[in-house]
Structure 1
Amino acid sequence: MKLTYVESVGIKKLEQYEKTVEFVDDDGVEDQVINVYPRVKYQSFEGFGGAITDAAGYVFQQLDPEQQERLLTMYFHPDHMNYRKVRIHMDSCDFSTHLYSAISDPQDQDLESFDFSDTEKYILPLLAEAQKMAQKPLKIMLSPWSPPEFMKTNDSRKNGGSLKKEYYPLWAKCICRYITEFEKRGYEVERISIQNEPKAVQLWDSCVYSAEQEKEFLTDHLYPVMKQAGLEHVEIFIWDHNKERVFERACDLIDATTDGMIAGTAFHWYSGDHFEALNLVRQQFPDKKLILSESCLEYNKFDSAAEAVNAGRLAHDMIGNLNHGLNAFYDWNILLNKEGGPNHVGNYCDAPFLFDEDRKELLQRMSADYYWHFAHFIQPGAVRLGFSRYTDEIDVTAWENPDGRIVLILLNRGDESIPAHIRISGKETEIVLSAHSIVSGVISGE
């Protein structure tokens, strides 16, 4: 039995090393141990992905062919990060070049004036190239940031407001139309969320739903219209907001009436770890999926220059979510310009790839390297395994891939190296985790 692993280490610049260590018979080691238990199995994992936004599509069109190939290969090629999923906004979001809605006529109940041209401009070209690189159909998640302004209580796409009750039926039809626009172009819409960040009053496209409003819209309008349109194969996810209230929203919405309508709960990372909240959702609703639908570093919260620290934060959150029931992961923008946009309200954020428009240079951030450790090694269909660790200074997650090989990912965010004895099935081996490093390895052999 052997462990073949890749270590990425560094603060200002990452260096990557590949090593192989052999397992020997366990001689009774007690200190500095990380145990892996293949017989203890938890949830399965669907795969990784990211968001194809207007901003990502806009910047992608500025790359030269070689840069486009590099970006697409890293994310979507089966031998690299193997992204299988993409999240796309319905109508504009903050990471759009301008505000837009596909429908603007309150009298158009049949959606004859539905205009898909904004989505066709930047999103569809990037989606087409991504799917070509993936060599298989990508599974799409659609999420609305706001209904059209005439449907809102504040008469604006921005600054919160709510969906007027008289427009519940029309908005449900609009969501269905968005799904069919993708499907008739040959794309697979796997799931939708009812509303992005339904608790947030944002300076950009946003819409507030209480739990009661979200439930009423789902049960009385959205689900019946989707069923009538033959879209029952599209999964519906609730919440799509931060973890600190994910358990309450799941409890408020999932009951005997909605059980067959709701596939699971989507959440974001912006309010902190709250891994225990995910455990509560998993325990209360074991048959429902948990997906992280958005995660990024906002420039108004994090120092963009602290790449290693930021990448470590994202990896810590990833491991915590994986260990507490996560079934799928969607990063936010897969590509932005160096400023962290374009963003029509200046809500600039980091991304795994940035493009310096002045120097015409594609910049790969450390977060891309850290995400590679997860997406490259944990394959779609993998099952999480039990483990124990001797210190919380090491973040650990363990998985069994469909081919039977065991994946172990270790994260050391500290300033000192940390030793570890890996124990599994009566065997053990020793490695040392460098300071500020992430290690991903495959255990193979008998």
Structure 2
Amino acid sequence: MKNIKTYSFLMLSIITIAACKTEKPTQLKLKADVFETSESGNKLTQLTEFKTAEQDTLINPSEIVLSPEKEYQTITGFGGSFTESSAYLLNKLSKENRNKIIQAYFGNDGARYSLTRTHISSCDFSLSNYTYAPVADDMTMEHFSIQEDQDDLIPMIKDAMKASEDGFKIIASPWTAPPWMKDNKEWVGGKLLPKYNDAYSLFFSKYIDAYKAEGIDIWGITVVNEPHGNGNNWESMHFSPKEMTDLVQNHLGPKLEADGKGDVKILGYDQNRAGIKEWVDEMYKDEASSKYYDGIAIHWYESTYDFFPEALQYGHNKAPDKYLIETEGCVDSQVPVWKDDAWYWKKEATDWGWDWASEEDKHLHPKYAPVNRYARDIIGCLNNWVDGWVDWNMVLDRQGGPNWFKNWCVAPVIVDPDADEVYMTPLYYTMAHFSKYIRPGAKVIDANKTDKELMVTAAKNPDGSIAVVVFNEGKTEKHFSLKLGEKIKNISINPQAIQTIVITN
């Protein structure tokens, strides 16, 4: 009898020890909604069930650990650009489709764009060349007029304002000064003659007033689009860093201040990221040169693959309290593919550098999937102090225009105005993963990941919610545990997919 009791006690002890070893501590569940866009067909689709990881993954689980107490930059916004081309196309669609697109970008159920851009006078995505100051030597801007914008551009902006519950900011950029102010008297190339510095500054002030009279507030301006030029192709005007800083410091900044427009943000540069250093070194050289600059604007065309983290870090560190905004990016030199979602996930798209970059820079311009370009770039920018990201045209046609220079590009929404058809490409949903869920005033926070093949960024919104964006460029499904303090949620992400995870508790 004693032996049986001893045996029973030993068995009970073994079972108890085994149970203790295998029992997991109770995990607090993280409340989060997961939205995914994927090559397999999800389009901002809410996911509620997730596949289970393989056993070897459970031994060394992939984790994304959020640390909201580690805050970085404040988000200004995300969005796209109002161009004459986009506005013209909207006017050619039925009322139903026009409203569908406006709501898709600005409505509360849409992408909720919060930061936008438009052009001052014409650009390549205009129907023709025009300026608001067409009369030569009109130093007082007596003949200044935005009449050219009344049919298309202004109505599009006003419709967007009506649709937007929270409103949005507008950055306005000229591609050139009126040709009569330039040394070559041409639309393309040339430099602003110093004797017109004050007239050009007045030109900006008049523009802000004219749009204000239409009920449209301009939040910020850039001095000129792409001061290094664009290969002498379409509207352009050249500045060196010193020339632009002299204009801003001694003419444009003081003029806007004197005219009661000191709250309008002035962003310098407005071209590719690789050139940030030489520009911020001059812009922020001293207190006087920095005074009227509110930040720097950048584009991605130096490479739509490499987001130049060192340059972004340098720009931020030079002036941590100033804006660092990407004001333009698109899949350029490419005709859109109509109603073929798969193309936007394939490494077939090229950019200008595929054909024209020097041999030493070819590696910066690989064939790369359009969705990957956007997701990779925006996440890379957010993780390196960029506070705003603005896409180029919101709407283009099946050719990638209209564009007076035939500089075809891709937009998130493609339309066939003759057939009154609208195609929301995967790029639209990719943009919405950021613009819809990361709101102005959000703080980028620390997100530490263990899977090097995933790209991750996170931000805490003013309402306390946290948006985590995860990009899986690979062709295999991934699993990870999302952790916030003691709370956890196990998530799987499809191959070639982008997710936004919204945490509300």
- CA RMSD between the two structures: 2.0
Match of 1:184 among 202, 213, 218: 213
Which whole-Å CA distance do the structure 2 matches of 1:401 and 1:188 have between them? 24
Is 1:70–2:100 an aligned residue pair? yes
Is 1:251–2:281 an aligned residue pair? yes
> 1:345-360 maps to which residues of 2 (within 5 A)?
345-360=405-420
Contact between 1:243 and 1:274, CA under 8 Å: does it hold in 2?
yes
Is 1:238–2:258 an aligned residue pair? no
Change (3 A) 1:300 1:77: closer
The answer for the alignment partner of 1:47 in structure 2 is 77
Change (3 A) 1:184 1:70: same
Change (3 A) 1:360 1:283: same
Change (3 A) 1:188 1:163: same
Residue 21 of structure 1 deviates from its aligned partner by 6.9
Contact between 2:133 and 2:145, CA under 8 Å: does it hold in 1?
yes
Is 1:334–2:334 an aligned residue pair? no
Is 1:379–2:439 an aligned residue pair? yes
Match of 1:260 among 291, 305, 310: 291
Is 1:19–2:47 an aligned residue pair? yes
Residue 325 of structure 1 deviates from its aligned partner by 1.0
The answer for the alignment partner of 1:196 in structure 2 is 225
Contact between 1:137 and 1:188, CA under 8 Å: does it hold in 2?
no
Residue 85 of structure 1 deviates from its aligned partner by 2.8
More helix by proportion, 1 or 2? 2
More strand by proportion, 1 or 2? 1
The answer for the alignment partner of 2:312 in structure 1 is 278
Residue type at the aligned position of 2:469: I
Is 1:431–2:491 an aligned residue pair? yes
The answer for the alignment partner of 1:6 in structure 2 is 35
Residue type at the aligned position of 2:327: S
Residue 303 of structure 1 deviates from its aligned partner by 7.8
Q: Which aligned runs of 4 or more in structure 1 are off by greater than 3 angstroms?
A: 13-17, 28-31, 135-138, 300-305
Residue 16 of structure 1 deviates from its aligned partner by 5.2
The answer for the alignment partner of 2:378 in structure 1 is 318
Contact between 1:238 and 1:266, CA under 8 Å: does it hold in 2?
yes
The answer for the alignment partner of 1:210 in structure 2 is 240
Residue 430 of structure 1 deviates from its aligned partner by 2.1
The answer for the alignment partner of 1:150 in structure 2 is 180
Change (3 A) 1:408 1:89: same
Q: Deviations over 1:28-71 (max 9, x none)?
A: 97532221112111111122221111101100101111111111
Which whole-Å CA distance do the structure 2 matches of 1:15 and 1:352 have between them? 13
Q: SS where residue 239 of structure 2 aligns?
A: coil
The answer for the alignment partner of 2:327 in structure 1 is 293
Q: SS where residue 152 of structure 2 aligns?
A: helix
Structure 2, gaps ≥5 residues long = 1-29, 51-57, 346-368
TM-score, L = length of structure 1: 0.94
Which whole-Å CA distance do the structure 2 matches of 1:184 and 1:258 have between them? 31
Is 1:307–2:344 an aligned residue pair? yes
Q: Deviations over 1:134-162 (max 9, x none)?
A: 1454322111100111112222111x211
TM-score, L = length of structure 2: 0.83
> 1:113-192 maps to which residues of 2 (within 5 A)?
113-135=143-165, 137-158=167-188, 160-192=189-221
Residue type at the aligned position of 1:156: E
Which whole-Å CA distance do the structure 1 matches of 2:288 and 2:59 have between them? 53
Larger radius of gyration: 2
Which whole-Å CA distance do the structure 2 matches of 1:29 and 1:230 have between them? 63
The answer for the alignment partner of 2:90 in structure 1 is 60
The answer for the alignment partner of 1:400 in structure 2 is 460
Q: Deviations over 1:344-367 (max 9, x none)?
A: 101111001111134321111110
Which whole-Å CA distance do the structure 2 matches of 1:443 and 1:140 have between them? 29
Residue 121 of structure 1 deviates from its aligned partner by 2.3
Residue type at the aligned position of 1:307: Y
Q: Deviations over 1:316-347 (max 9, x none)?
A: 10111111112222211111111111111011
Change (3 A) 1:323 1:66: same
Contact between 2:313 and 2:385, CA under 8 Å: does it hold in 1?
yes
Match of 1:82 among 112, 119, 122: 112
Is 1:422–2:482 an aligned residue pair? yes
Q: SS where residue 150 of structure 2 aligns?
A: helix
Which whole-Å CA distance do the structure 1 matches of 2:44 and 2:249 have between them? 51
Which whole-Å CA distance do the structure 2 matches of 1:215 and 1:107 have between them? 24
Change (3 A) 1:228 1:17: closer
Change (3 A) 1:29 1:444: farther
Which whole-Å CA distance do the structure 2 matches of 1:263 and 1:108 have between them? 29
